[in-house]
Structures are given as C-alpha cells and as structure tokens.
Amino acid sequence: MSNLYSVIVGTGAYIPPVKVTNEDFLSNEFYEKDGSPVNKQNEEIIEKFKEITTIEERRYAPDNMLTSDMATVAAENALKQSGIDKETLDYIIVAHNFGDVKPDNKQVDIVPSLAARVKFNLKIENPFCVTYDVIFGCPGWLQGVIQADFYIRSGKAKRVMVIGSETLSRVTDPHDRDTMLYADGAGAVILEQKESEEPVGILNHKTRSDTYEYSQMLSMDVSYKENYSSMTEYFLKMNGRRLYQYALSTVPQAIKLCLDEANISITEIKKVLIHQANGKMDDAILKRLYHLYGIKEEDIPHDVMPMTVHWLGNSSVATLPTLLDLIMHDKLPPHKIEKGDKVVFASVGAGMNINAVVYRF
C-alpha cells in the first residue's frame, strides 16, 4: 500500500558577499547589561567569544539587499535546481523574524508579507499559489517545512516552497557582545508530493513551545550603551547562559522523541543538521543526544554533524536551509548526502521553540 510523502526536489541559498571577521569588532565599545563598560580589552573579549562559540567570521547582506531580496535569490536557485514550473507551486512560506529591515531604519516592514513579495519578485501569476510568513524564532524555517508536510500529506498541496531569510546584522546592538553572533543569509527548499510504498522524505516531526517559563530568553530592548539610540529603538537581546542550559536539557530529548515515534535509532542517522547557533552548544547537544542512546562520546561518528557557524555565523532561520544546500551541491566537503540516507534536522530559538524532523533521502 502506497502513502503520500513530502520529498525535497530542489534547494537554493543566498550567502551574502560581505565578510565580517572577529577582528572587525576590535573598535567596538562593549557594555554590560547594567550600562557599565566591559572591564576587558577587546582582544580578550573576542578571543573568549571565539572559544565559546567557535565563530571566526560571518556574512552581512549588502546595503542594497533586503530580507525578501535574499529570499528571492534563494528561491530562484531552488527553482532552477528543481526544474519545476514556478506556476505549479501551491504555497510559498517564508520564515523570518524582522521583515525587510533597512540598513538605516530598524522599523519592521512586513506589509505585504515577505512571501507575497517573493511571489511578486518571481513573477508568479497563479492566484492559487498562496503566500504567508512564519514568525517562530530561529526554528521558523523548519516549522515551515513541517507545515508544508501537513499540506502535502493531506492532499491539499503538491508543491510547497519554504524559505528562511534574515538580516540579523541590522537589529543587533553594536555595544552588546552578542552582536558578534549574528549574521545574514537565506535558504530555500521545494517540497513535492510523492506516492510511495517505501517510506521516503519526511518520516516524522516534533515541535514544542516552552513559552510559560522561557519566553523572555530572547527579546527586544534598548542598547546597553546609555543614549546610544532613542528609547524607542530596540535591539535583539538574549539571555545566553540560560538559553544554553535550556537547549542542552531539552533539544536532545526532543530529537530522540521524534526518532522514537518513527521507530528509528540514532545509529541509523547519517547526518544531524542542527541550527547553527553556537558551535560549542551544538557539540554539547550532540553528545547529550548520543548519551540518551548509551553511546559514548568517543563512539560518535566524527562526521555526523556538519558545521558552518564558524564562517557563516548565526543567520537564524537561514542556517539550516543554507547548510543543506551547501551539502547537496558538494560545497561542504567531505560531507555528502546520498539516496537512502536518513537525516535529522533540529532547531531551537525564540519562544522558546524547538522542532525536529527526520528525513530519508
């Protein structure tokens, strides 16, 4: 007996050309949350940052590119690789968190939706190609993929494009050390309905939202430097230490639950593609995940978790689709994904939200 599955038929990405290294922050004035200057030299601050996060550089969007522009480029690349007719798309879902933020104006611009702007940019005329945005923190792109799976497996859609695009560099406080975490970029996938007797594509997914206790770990607030900007201009702020602890205690369990429901063991997984938030945090999550299966650290496959955060930074909703696109186009050697491989996607972010998807190529 055959079933309907959601399979990826195309990927695309836009990695901005503007490279920003850690050394580019040597002239920043960093302040503590209470408004006092950080009592350390910038060289020491930057070295400690690299040690904690593994980030050495990141990419920023050029001034003439908005979030929807990057999303459009990623979408065009996904369409080109898939070879499908753009007019056959049933949905375009765009995940982001701040809309089309301009370099000189941090006001959120989301009317019309970014998905509507992408459809317009692609010159899609089909009125039954429905467009909407997902605001779900860093897990937004993966949640869009999960929504696409519901449409496809219910028979309500045959092709869905899901895009993650963000310009975090335009909403960060230059006087907050966390500004070095953030980056820009965009990635896209096209999911298509496939009838198959053998399980393929999305095999299972799981999402949780811990808003009761943890909704304020990422929020917007004024600059740490007094009088740096108006009291109505807000920047992205994070309780990094508490978020780190939260992620380590919840993400591995969420991934395992997703795998358990699909009756799949971690030993069957070829790659773990996790949101590129912080290199050391992702390493710790991976170790705890394997520990849940009784697997020691030294027995974890050394190539199971591809990483891009050290050179692309944390581009929020764009980290997972750009990571996947790099692998699928042989741009992240030695990592490869081949037919039959089972892969886990996972993300954690503002909300706090966690999601996981297990996928068979």
237-271 pLDDT tens trace: 999 889 999 999 999 999 999 999 999 999 999 99
CATH code at position 66: 3.40.47.10
Query: Which residues constitute the domain of residue 325?
Result: 201-360
Are both 79 and 55 inside the same structural domain? Answer: yes
Q: Is the separation of the CB atoms in 335 and 271 below 8 Å? A: yes
70 and 172 in a common domain = yes
| 161 and 283 inside one domain | no
The SS3 call for residue 221 is strand
Contact 123, 76 (CB under 8 A): no
Do 96 and 177 fall within a single domain?
A: yes
Stated length of the chain: 361
Confidence band of 227 (pLDDT split at 50, 70, 90):
confident
Same domain, 32 and 149: yes
Torsion region of 268: left, alpha or beta (phi above 0 gives left; psi -120 to 50 gives alpha):
alpha
Cα(193)–Cα(201) distance, integer angstroms: 9
Q: Which of 180, 196, 212 is the endpoint of a domain?
A: 196
Cα-to-chain-centroid distance, residue 34: 30
pLDDT at 193: 97
Q: Read off the pLDDT band of 230 (50, 70, 90).
A: low
pLDDT tier, 319 (very low <50, low <70, confident <90, very high otherwise): very high
| In a shared domain, residues 186 and 222 | no
**CA–CA distance, 120 with 100 (Å, rounded to integer):** 15
Residues 291 and 319 in one domain: yes
pLDDT, one tens digit per residue, over 100-130 is 999 988 888 999 999 999 999 999 999 999 9
| Residues 170, 185 contacting (CB under 8 angstroms) | no
Q: For the chain, what is the domain count?
A: 2
- Rounded CA-CA distance 173/228 in Å is 9
246 within 8 A of 320, measured Cβ to Cβ = no
Residue 52's pLDDT is what?
Answer: 94
How does residue 220 score in pLDDT terms, banded at 50, 70 and 90? confident
Question: What pTM value is reported for the model?
Answer: 0.95
Mean pLDDT, the chain, whole residue set = 96
Same domain, 192 and 217: no
Which of 144, 172, 196 is where one domain is finished? 196
Q: What is the pLDDT of residue 54?
A: 96
Residues 33 and 182 in one domain: yes
Q: Are residues 65 and 178 in the same domain?
A: yes
Instruction: Mark whether 176 and 212 lie in a shared domain.
Output: no
Last residue of a domain, one of 152, 168, 196: 196
Same domain, 182 and 208: no
Give the per-residue pLDDT at 231: 62
Alpha carbons 345 and 306: distance in angstroms, whole number = 11
Express each pLDDT in 278-317 by its tens digit: 999 999 999 999 999 999 999 999 999 999 999 999 999 9
